[in-house]
Structure 1
Amino acid sequence: MPRFYFDIDDGLRFTSDDDGQALPDRAAARNMAISVLPPLARDVMPDGDRHAVWVVIRNEEGDAIFRAVLELVAEWLD
């Protein structure tokens, strides 16, 4: 199985995945990246009105192949 690496940036810190995870294919890696975003965002709720959490997937060669971003925008409408 191919190995995928998940780098995370929550706006406060960047974490580079040095171990990776063996997954069946790119679709499984994509699903994993998307599934980790909500819990990560909850852990670093923003103090301001904008916040984004990013996950970038790298392949075994170290190339970035996918990015998922969860962005919170909070604003008063009146």
Structure 2
Amino acid sequence: MPRYYFDVSDGDRLSRDTIGTDCEDTASVCSITAQSLSEIGRDSLFRGSAQQSIMAIVRDEQNITVCTAMLSFSVLWFGSDIPAEEDDII
């Protein structure tokens, strides 16, 4: 079964997967990528980030990039009140 490596970048840092995950097919690779990004995004929201972009870069056993995915979100204030400090979000 082929092994894939799921690296993650937030624009400032790149976290390289040195262990990898065995995947049966490309559908499994895509599913793991989407699930990983959604979990990382959820964790970022809990830390109070008002803006975040996260990218997953998937490499195969030959170190060739075979898939990328990006999750981006932002919170924008349009009201007349003063917005909460970033530390107070969520």
- TM-score range (shorter-chain normalised) is 0.7 to 0.9
TM-score relative to the length of structure 1: 0.83
Matches within 5 A, 1:1-78: 1-11=1-11, 13-45=13-45, 49-77=50-78
Q: Distance in 1 between matches of 2:36 and 2:18?
A: 17
Q: Which has the higher strand share?
A: 1
> Which 5+ residue runs of structure 2 have no aligned equivalent?
80-90
State the identity %: 27
- The RMSD of aligned alpha carbons is 1.9
Paired residues, what number?
A: 78
> Which 5+ residue runs of structure 1 have no aligned equivalent?
none
Q: Distance in 1 between matches of 2:37 and 2:50?
A: 18
